[in-house]
Amino acid sequence: MWLKFLRMSNFCCTFAGGFRLLYIMKEILSHFAIWNEVGEPQPLRIGFINDSFVVPAKRVGEPSYCLQRINHRIFKDVEGLMRNIEVVTSHIREKLLIAREQDIERKVLQLIPTKANKLYYKTPEGDYWRLYVLVEPATSQEKVTPMSAELTGEAFGRFQRQLADLPFNALCESIPNFHNMEFRLQELDEALAADKANRKAECQDIIDWINKRREMMCLAEVLFREGRLKKHINHCDTKVNNVLFDEAGRPICIVDLDTVMPGFVFSDFGDFMRTAANKGLEDDPNLDNIHVDLEIFEAYARGYLKEATFLTELEKELLPYGCRLLSYMQTVRFFTDWINGDTYYKIAYPEHNLVRTKAQLRLVEEQEKVEDEMKKIIAQLTK
């Protein structure tokens, strides 16, 4: 996929400011400690937050790189964010080394420091850039099969387990309260009160729908305060396309480590289901396409439960709830951005955030319909 993106885009040559951008990126690259000769950076259309570019090796067999401009409007503590990524990748690498694994370069991301030995380069204009070795050959998928879902479940379960022994204070919250439902609702309330883009009046039905589910969806925070739920280190963005697969179709590397932080296990379980166990798209304009794919649900849950041996009974029981929670949270987040006038997510067309909101809202409704079936599957898998 990464390379497919690369071929698709001639942005650097066609875009009017492209030559200037190329020049700037060459300058930026000169600050990183890369040893081989590289070609022109090419944009990689992936993710809604950062800007990513592939920097191809000039000679076959040498490493290519992924250059990223970190969105520091969103990641306000870039120092903390980059320290998190370094801690996580070193910890996983150490585990792989101890286990004498092969092909470690493809199994965990590797940051390239700057010549001044920093994890990022800050330009005089105040932009932050980082560089990874490109994982290749590897592909990403927008849709999974039951087989790849099960393997991905194992991969994310293993990822959580590999990080489970990190001391709790080893990582900061790169975005404070990132998957805290109470906080996300508070943000929505503030957006609605300000109604900056004057869009509130036409959305009363969505507001009512969200309000009806508020209390139910804040359950995890309540259970945490009561001491009944724990936090684990999570990836916090387990979208299907954040897993890279090898030539044999097996997950090889988990990418996009910006949001690795302590949270509830639902974050990772639910977010994967939100994106993969949906027969429609995250932003499907045709709501009739949106249905829960129970086959994918079962396959991922089977893989995940094999590896996530640390779950409590309550956590297992609440996994189906976690799916709804993450879809509801994403509904609220897309909707908040719509109300705010599209200031957070990159959009492809003016109504994009509203379309995304409606698609996620429908997904919650579909998940509500099959909650009992999901519970049965989990009960079967854990008995």
Binding site for Mg ion (CB under 5 A): 237, 256
- Amino acid making up residue 133: V
Q: How far apart are CA 353 and CA 359, in angstroms?
A: 10
Residue nearest to ligand GN1 (CB): 47
Q: By CB under 6 A, name the one of 150, 282, 298, 366 that touches ligand GN1.
A: 282
- The strand pairing partners of 68, in sequence order, are 52, 130
What, of ligand GN1, Mg ion, none, does residue 154 touch, CB below 5 to 8 Å by kind? Answer: none
| Angle of helix 371-382 versus helix 352-369 axis, rounded to 10 | 60
The stretch near ligand GN1 (CB under 6 A) out of 44-52, 99-107, 247-255, 369-377 is: 44-52
What, of ligand GN1, Mg ion, none, does residue 209 touch, CB below 5 to 8 Å by kind? Answer: none
Q: By CB under 6 A, name the one of 51, 150, 256, 337 that touches ligand GN1.
A: 256
Q: Are 238 and 271 in contact (CB under 8 A)?
A: yes
DSSP code of residue 176: T
Is 73 or 212 the residue whose CB approaches ligand GN1 more closely?
73
Q: By CB under 6 A, name the one of 49, 109, 319, 364 that touches ligand GN1.
A: 49
In the numeric block, which tokens belong to residue 314? 């309550």
The full length of the chain comes to 383
Q: Is 84 in the site for ligand GN1 (CB under 6 A)?
A: no
What, of Mg ion, ligand GN1, none, does residue 330 touch, CB below 5 to 8 Å by kind? Answer: ligand GN1
For 254-311, the DSSP string reads E---TT-EEE-THHHHHHHHHHHSBSS-TT-S-GGG--B-HHHHHHHHHHHHHH-TT-
Phi-psi region of 236 (alpha: psi -120 to 50; beta: other; left: phi over 0): left
What, of ligand GN1, Mg ion, none, does residue 282 touch, CB below 5 to 8 Å by kind? Answer: ligand GN1
Q: Which residue matches tokens 């997950």?
A: 251
Residue nearest to Mg ion (CB): 237
Is 114 or 357 the residue whose CB approaches ligand GN1 more closely?
357
In the numeric block, which tokens belong to residue 216? 């139910």
In the numeric block, which tokens belong to residue 115? 């010549």
The stretch near ligand GN1 (CB under 6 A) out of 42-50, 105-113, 313-321, 369-377 is: 42-50
Is 85 or 378 the residue whose CB approaches Mg ion more closely?
85
Is 178 or 321 the residue whose CB approaches ligand GN1 more closely?
178
Beta-carbon contacts of residue 33 (< 8 Å; ≥ 6 apart): 112, 113, 114, 115, 117
Residues of 271-283 as b/e, b for ≥16 C-beta within 10 angstroms? Answer: bbbbbbbbebbbb
Q: By CB under 6 A, name the one of 259, 267, 353, 357 that touches ligand GN1.
A: 259
Q: Is 237 in the site for ligand GN1 (CB under 6 A)?
A: yes
Q: Is 330 in the site for ligand GN1 (CB under 6 A)?
A: yes
The stretch near ligand GN1 (CB under 6 A) out of 47-55, 57-65, 151-159, 287-295 is: 47-55
Q: Is 187 in the site for ligand GN1 (CB under 6 A)?
A: no
Is 31 or 160 the residue whose CB approaches Mg ion more closely?
160
Give the interface with ligand GN1 as residue ranges (CB under 6 A): 47-49, 74, 237, 239, 256, 258-259, 282, 330
